[in-house]
Amino acid sequence: MQKAKCGLDKRVSMHTLRHSFATHLLEQKVDIRVIQVLLGHKKLETTALYAQVATDILREVVSPIETLPSM
Residue range 23-51, pLDDT digits in tens: 888 888 888 889 999 999 999 888 888 77
CA distance linking residue 33 with residue 71, whole number of Å: 38
The structure's pTM equals 0.61
Structural domain containing residue 47: 31-57
Looking at per-residue confidence, does 66 or 1 come out higher?
66
Q: What is the DSSP letter of 69?
A: P
Q: Which residues contact 35 (CB under 8 A, 6 or more apart)?
A: 22, 25, 26, 47, 50
The verdict on residue 43 lying in a domain is yes
The verdict on residue 50 lying in a domain is yes
What is the pLDDT at residue 37? 93
The verdict on residue 36 lying in a domain is yes
What is the pLDDT at residue 49? 81
The verdict on residue 10 lying in a domain is no
The verdict on residue 20 lying in a domain is no
Q: Give me the number of domains the chain comprises.
A: 1
The verdict on residue 64 lying in a domain is no
The verdict on residue 14 lying in a domain is no
The verdict on residue 16 lying in a domain is no
Nearest Cα to Cα of residue 20 among 40, 9, 35:
35
